[in-house]
Amino acid sequence: MVIRGVLFDFSGTLFRIESAASSLRAALTARGLALPPREEAALAAALDRAGALPGGSPALDVPAHLAALVARRDESAELHRAAYTALARTVALPDPALYEMLYDRHMAPEAWQPYADALDVVRALDSRGVRVGVVSNIGWDPRPVFRAHGLHPYVDTYTLSFEHGVQKPDPRLFAHACAALGVDPAEALMVGDDRRADGGAAALGCAVHFVDHLPAETRPDALRHVLTLALPD
């Protein structure tokens, strides 16, 4: 099988979001607030357990009244913001403004770190003539993150759930992605960290390869295997 296009997930695959502690600290600083270290650490841990940081840990226990909203969060920008700020509000923060600030923080390029091999891999694929796309369950446009970290010139297309009103694992999102890349699904490889969501590409006929959603410093070269799967003709 010849791979002519590679689709990458965004969060947990090409990039890793900062920790909840880092995100909270940035929001507190922007608000001009300072907390005792123990209190700050406890709030960060509670936000992490609540799944309040997009791209971070999933919620350990979604409150029943939020379950339907959280399940559809990636279908629109409005649902995405509503879901994550609602999860954050399950944690009592010292200033109500912090909930929206935390959400805004996760869209900042400096809140994201590319995995160490991400740039090399997308650049190598581009040099081989293999088309590269990003397909993500997300509620905002991540292009500024890719531009800030140097990956954007090597990405041909972005297929984002909130722009199509459908989220992975629905095969329709992968169909949009393949069409945008101009490749047949049978000639496409989907690379992601979520077996359920990213594995949905297999229903369309795409090959699928998984990487682990780990801190960037502990996963230096997991993406390089993609280069052995997407060999030139």
Nearest to 155 by CA among 55, 3, 7, 15: 7
Roughly what angle, to the nearest 10 degrees, separates helices 37-50 and 20-31? 120
Tell me the average pLDDT across 152-179.
98
230: pLDDT strictly greater than 90 = no
Listed in order, the ranges of the chain carrying CATH 3.40.50.1000 are: 5-16+112-229
Q: How many CA atoms lie within 13 A of 61 on its CB side?
A: 3
What are 118-163's pLDDT values in tens digits? 999 999 999 999 999 999 999 999 999 999 999 999 999 999 999 9
Tell me the average pLDDT across 190-216.
96
Q: Burial level of 195, CB count in 10 A (0-12/13-18/19+)?
A: exposed
Instruction: Provide the pLDDT for residue 233.
Output: 59
What are 191-201's pLDDT values in tens digits? 999 999 999 99
- Could you say which DSSP state residue 58 is in? P
Instruction: Provide the pLDDT for residue 195.
Output: 96
List all residues 6 or more positions away from 132 whose beta carbon is below 8 Å from its beta carbon: 5, 6, 8, 122, 125, 126, 154, 155, 156
Instruction: Provide the pLDDT for residue 192.
Output: 98
The CATH class of the 5-16+112-229 domain is alpha beta
Neighbour count for residue 15 (Cβ, 10 Å): 24
What pLDDT band is residue 232 in, cutting at 50, 70 and 90?
low
The CA-atom distances, in angstroms, between 108 and each of 32, 63, 155, 202 are 18, 28, 19, 32
What is the number of residues in the chain?
233
Q: Which of 76-90, 166-180, 216-230 has the lowest mean pLDDT?
A: 216-230
Q: Burial level of 136, CB count in 10 A (0-12/13-18/19+)?
A: buried
Query: Could you tell me where the DSSP H helices lie in the chain?
Result: 20-31, 37-50, 67-71, 77-88, 97-105, 118-127, 143-148, 161-164, 171-181, 226-229
CB 3 within 8 A of CB 231: yes
What pLDDT band is residue 2 in, cutting at 50, 70 and 90?
confident
Q: Which residue has the tokens 């309040």?
A: 52
22: pLDDT strictly greater than 80 = yes
What are 23-68's pLDDT values in tens digits? 999 999 999 999 999 999 999 999 999 999 999 989 889 999 999 9
Tell me the average pLDDT across 79-91.
98
% of the chain at pLDDT higher than 70? 99
What pLDDT band is residue 208 in, cutting at 50, 70 and 90?
very high
Please tell me the distance from the alpha carbon of residue 219 to that of residue 8, in angstroms, as a whole number. Answer: 16
Nearest to 169 by CA among 180, 179, 177, 157: 177
Neighbour count for residue 173 (Cβ, 10 Å): 27
Tell me the average pLDDT across 7-18.
98
User: Collapsing DSSP states into helix, strand and coil, what is residue 227?
Assistant: helix
